[in-house]
Amino acid sequence: MNILISSIGAKVGLVKAFRDAIDRIGGQGRVIGIDSDRFAPAGEFCDAFHCVKAQDSPGYWEQIEEICRSEKIGLAVPTREAELSAWSDWRQKTGNQFCQLALSSQQCLQVCADKTQTHTWLLENDFPSPEIGTVGELRNTTFNNRLPLVVKDPFGQGSRGVHFINHIEEIANLPDHWIVQPSLKGIEYTLNAYIDRNGKCRCLIPHRRLQVVDGEVDRAVTEKLPPLMLLGKKITEALPGAYGPINLQVFYESDIGSIWVTDINPRFGGGYPLAHAAGGRFTEWLLLESMGETLKIREEDWQDQLLLLRYRDSLFKSLDSE
C-alpha cells in the first residue's frame, strides 16, 4: 500500500505517522509526498517526493495521475482545506481508477468548507453554535453593543487571519461578507475524530490548546472529557458522508457545562500527531480499511494527559546535484 500525501509542506509528523502505520501492519508500503514547493521540508522524510504544479494550473491532474501510475499509489490523502473539493471532483470523474481517497463526501466537504454553512447545519441538527453575523451588519451596529468580537473569513483555514475586535473602527478594511461572532468564554479544545467506512465514530480525542503559533497548535494536552467526547461523536456521525480524520474546534466552560462548536475540518489537523502519539492510530486505520480489513478498536483506549511540546529544528541539504 503506497500512500500519496498532498500539500506535504512541513507536515513531518503526518509523514512519520504513516510510516509508523506501515510498520505496525507489517507492510512494505512507501510514503510519497507532493507539493508545489520543491523545498517542502516534509518531502525530505518521504520515500519519494514530487514537486507538482499549483492545483489550479493546467495539467495538474494529468501530473497527479502519472504519479499515481508510476508510484503505484493505493491511497491518496489530501491535506489542505482549499484542495479537498477539487480532489473530490477528481474522484467523481475517475472513480477509483488511480487510487482510493481518504476523503469525506462532497456534501460533507461543502458543509465544512463554509463557516456560515457549518453554523446553519449545526443549528438545524440541534448542535450548539454561537450566534454569527457579518462585517456588513456590524457596520450597521447590529453587533456594536457586544464588543469584543471575533471576525474571520468564512472560508479561512485554522486561526490564521482571525481578528479580535475591541473597537468598531478596527473593521474598516475588512470585507463585508466576513463572519462576526461573540468572543467566546471558556477553554478552546480540538476534537480529533476517526470515522470509519460505515460512518461510525470509532475514536475521539480532545486536546486542550495551550498555545497556538501562526494558526497551528504549538503546545497541547489530551484530556478525557466525556461531554466533549459525546458531543463530538454525535456531530461527526451526523455529518453526511463523513469518513476518515475529522477535527472540530470547540469552546468549553466546564463550570456551567457550556460547549460551543466553531469549526469542523474534514482532514488531518495540525495537532493530529498528538492524537497519534496518544493511541489514535488514524493513519493505520485508513490503511487497514483501504485494504478491506475490519477495524478492531476500543473507543477510549488512548492516553489521557499526554503533553505536546513543539520546537524548531533545521534541515540541511546540498543543492550541488540539482
- For cell 477528481, the residue is 90
- Locate 200 and state its grid cell: 461510525
Which residues fall within 8 angstroms of residue 124, CB to CB, at 6 or more apart? none
Closest CA to 151 of 167, 134, 139: 134
At 101 the pLDDT is 96
In contact, 187 and 220? CB cutoff 8 Å: no
At 182 the pLDDT is 87
Domains, in order of start, for the chain:
2-103 (3.40.50.20), 109-114+185-309 (3.30.470.20), 131-182 (3.30.1490)
For the chain, list the strands marked E by DSSP.
2-5, 31-35, 48-51, 73-77, 100-101, 133-134, 149-152, 163-165, 179-182, 187-195, 201-213, 216-222, 244-253, 258-265, 307-309
DSSP H or E segment with residue 63: helix 60-70
At 49 the pLDDT is 98
Q: What's the pTM value of the predicted model, to 2 decimals?
A: 0.93
At 28 the pLDDT is 86
At 1 the pLDDT is 84
Q: Are strands 2-5 and 258-265 parallel, antiparallel or unpaired?
A: unpaired
pLDDT tens track, the chain, 322 positions: 899 999 999 999 999 999 999 999 987 899 999 999 999 999 999 999 999 999 999 999 999 999 999 999 999 999 999 999 999 999 999 988 999 999 999 999 999 999 999 999 999 999 999 999 888 888 776 555 677 888 988 888 766 678 888 888 888 888 889 999 888 999 999 999 999 999 999 999 999 999 988 778 999 999 999 999 999 999 999 999 999 999 999 999 999 999 999 999 999 999 999 999 999 999 999 999 999 999 999 878 899 999 999 998 999 988 876 6
| Preceding amide of 58 cis, omega within 30 | no
